[in-house]
Amino acid sequence: MKIEIRTPITPKEWDVYYALRYNVLRKPLNQPLGSERNDGDLTGKHFALYEDGMLRAIARLDKVDETTGQTRFVAVDTVAQGKGYGKMIMEAVEEKSKARGDYKMILHARDYALQFYLRLGYSEIEKSYKLFDVLQHYLMEKVY
């Protein structure tokens, strides 16, 4: 089994990347196709974890300020959950964040993902927003 984490390159890889984002993060909330994208996609650093060439997990790293990164759109394919791919992609995002000089990472975790991020060393700061008035999120941070 070969694991590779990199940015999608070809138009087909980008299509599969956004399809995974939609299918895991938006479709279950009955949101329309296209809701999985935003303006930050143009400036964020995209991460895609491939297992033997198959996309299994994704994330995006944004810059908040000179010392803070923000992880967004973390998703693991439903057929690959529980294999450690979420942890692997988060480690890659954090590594890139540290390498560019960030001292802290923030994210807004879905309520069902709180324990996952706590295990990765994040601290819960506060209840933040309710996505589409349905799914509670929590602001979390990790200081390097």
The CATH number for 17's domain is: 3.40.630.30
User: Could you tell me if residue 136 is inside a domain?
Assistant: no
Token pair recorded at residue 94: 């954090």
User: Could you tell me if residue 94 is inside a domain?
Assistant: yes
Q: What is the pLDDT of residue 14?
A: 98
When divided into structural domains, the chain yields a total of: 1
Contacts of 83 (CB under 8 A, 6+ apart): 56
Q: What is the model's pTM?
A: 0.95
Domain residue limits at 24: 3-102
Q: What is the pLDDT of residue 127?
A: 95
Q: What is the DSSP letter of 26?
A: I
CA-nearest of 107, 121, 100, 40 to 71 is 107
Beta bridge partners of 57: 49, 76
User: Could you tell me if residue 120 is inside a domain?
Assistant: no
Beta bridge partners of 143: 104
User: pLDDT at residue 41 above 90?
Assistant: yes
